Structure formats: structure tokens, C-alpha cells
């Protein structure tokens, strides 16, 4: 009897050690999605390229002022637009595209998707924005940024169904310009942390007086002085030798 119990204990130990018992739940964090190439945060490249991105527009004043500054330095950027604002300010959206910048999807109503958000709801938000972008500019966007940087499986699946690549931003390049921290705070955030392949988060629609345009007047000449070229996210992704972080 004693030998039998020892044998059973030994067999159970082998069973557990073999991994037959279910493992811990998969942590669907940045590393998980990056390794699957489902989301881009930044791009590894030896080239001095950096992507400035602007969320929540278009805006009839701020976007125009930003475009004027970008033109001075031949900088090309990506604007993650809200669908209903594209409808409201079609001429601004057209100018973004006409001047060689990139329009990308930021949902129609700036919805913060939750885990409980239905796939159909996410698809509707993205599809409605794509419809308006195409109708007004004649171009289809290829990138999508979820409001608040909130992502989950349904958000990623919806984007894939519509042929959109989810793009967030370099963690060290969140300027928090929406909180109006001051011109120098925004400029220093970008310039002190500038690295090849960065994707910088900014906004071209901020309630109240924005500091972003004035910050750009410091950022753009300094980046140029350092030899950086400011490009769209798509150009950054497709640049020679570029590889998405996680590849």
C-alpha cells in the first residue's frame, strides 16, 4: 500500500511538471501585441527620422496654424482625425492632404472603447470615419489610433477588418499638450527625448488656448538643426531598414 501511494505521488508530480495543468492567463500587454505585430508604438531605425502626430482635429484655427509651421520646415505629419470634425471642417481636411500630410482614423465620435464594447460598435465608429475621409478627400486612411490609447482584441480586430493598422506613440513622447502644461514643457518633452523612430503624441484641437503651436516653433527648428527629418507615420514605417519594435 505504501509503495502504491509513493508511485501515485510520483506520477502526479510528473503530470504537473509536464505542463499538463493549465498555465497562467496570457497577459495581453504591450509586449504581447507588439510581438504579434498588431500595434505600433515606435519604429527601430538607424535613420534620423521622427513622426509628429496630432489627434482630435481638424480644427479651423489650430490645425491651420500647425500646417503653416510645418510648411516652413517641409515637415510632413500624421493627423489622427475625428470623423464628425472632418464633416464639420472639410476644407481643413482637404488642405492636410493637399500639402502632403497623412489623414488617419481616430473614430467618429472620439469613443473610449472598453472591454465591454461590442465589435460591431467599434467597426461602426471606424467605418463611418473612413467613409467621410474618402468622400471629402478621395483618400483612404491606413492607420488608426484609439482615443486614450485604449486597446483590446475587439479594437484590433475591427481595425484589421477595415484594413487599418493601430498606431499609438512612444511612451517617452507623450507631450500631454492637451493639459496646456506650457510651451517649454511641451518642447522640452520632445527635444530632450528625441530618438530615431519616435512617434510623438500631440493635439491640434485643445479646448481653450493651446500651447502646441508655439511649442512647434521651438521643436521644428531644433529637430532640423539636429539632422532629423519629420515624416508621416507611414513613411517612418516604410523607411529603408526600419523595423517595428517587437519584430
Task: Find residue 49's DSSP bridge partners.
Answer: 229
The b/e string for 146-155 (b: 16+ C-beta within 10 A; e otherwise) is: bbebebbebb
> CB of 244 within 8 A of CB of 237?
yes
Of 206, 130, 132, 183, nearest in space to 161 by CA: 130
Residue 17, pLDDT score: 45
Successive 10-residue mean pLDDT values, the chain, 247 residues: 46 44 76 93 96 98 97 98 98 98 98 92 97 97 97 96 98 96 98 98 91 97 98 94 56
Q: Give first-to-last CA distance, the chain, whole Å.
A: 56
Domains of the chain in sequence order: 29-244 (3.20.20.370)
Is 203 in the active site?
Answer: yes
| pLDDT recorded at residue 55 | 98
User: What pLDDT does 14 receive?
Assistant: 41
Label the pairing between strands 49-55 and 229-230. parallel
Query: What is the spatial distance between Cα 126 and Cα 144, in angstroms, rounded to a whole number?
Result: 8
Residue among 59, 90, 35, 42 at smallest CA distance from 194: 42
Round to whole Å and give the CA distance between 244 and 88: 35
Residues shown for the chain:
247
Which of 38, 56, 59, 203 is labelled catalytic? 203
Residue 209 has a pLDDT of 79
Residue 110 falls in the annotated catalytic set: no
pLDDT of residue 242: 66
Catalytic one among 55, 56, 177, 204? 55
Amino acid at each position: 500500500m505504501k509503495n502504491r501511494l509513493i508511485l501515485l505521488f510520483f506520477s502526479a508530480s510528473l503530470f504537473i511538471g509536464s505542463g499538463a495543468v493549465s498555465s497562467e492567463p496570457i497577459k495581453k500587454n504591450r509586449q504581447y501585441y507588439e510581438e504579434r505585430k498588431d500595434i505600433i508604438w515606435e519604429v527601430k531605425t538607424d535613420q534620423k527620422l521622427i513622426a509628429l502626430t496630432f489627434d482630435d482635429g481638424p480644427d479651423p484655427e489650430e490645425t491651420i496654424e500647425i500646417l503653416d509651421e510645418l510648411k516652413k520646415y517641409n515637415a510632413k505629419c500624421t493627423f489622427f482625425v475625428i470623423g464628425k470634425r472632418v464633416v464639420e471642417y472639410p476644407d481643413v481636411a482637404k488642405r492636410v492632404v493637399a500639402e502632403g500630410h497623412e489623414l488617419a482614423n481616430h473614430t467618429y465620435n472620439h469613443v473610449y472603447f472598453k472591454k465591454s464594447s461590442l465589435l460591431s460598435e467599434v467597426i461602426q465608429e471606424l467605418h463611418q470615419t473612413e467613409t467621410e475621409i474618402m468622400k471629402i478627400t478621395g483618400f483612404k486612411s491606413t492607420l488608426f489610433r484609439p482615443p486614450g490609447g485604449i486597446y483590446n482584441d475587439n479594437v484590433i480586430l475591427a481595425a484589421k477588418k477595415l484594413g487599418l493598422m493601430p498606431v499609438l506613440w512612444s511612451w517617452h513622447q507623450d507631450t500631454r499638450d492637451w493639459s496646456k502644461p506650457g510651451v517649454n514643457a511641451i518642447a522640452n518633452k520632445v527635444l530632450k527625448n528625441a530618438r530615431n523612430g519616435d512617434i510623438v503624441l500631440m493635439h491640434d484641437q485643445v479646448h481653450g488656448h493651446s500651447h502646441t503651436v508655439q511649442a512647434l516653433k521651438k521643436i521644428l527648428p531644433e529637430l532640423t538643426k539636429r539632422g532629423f527629418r519629420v515624416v508621416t507615420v507611414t513613411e517612418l514605417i516604410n523607411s529603408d531598414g526600419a523595423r517595428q519594435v517587437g519584430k
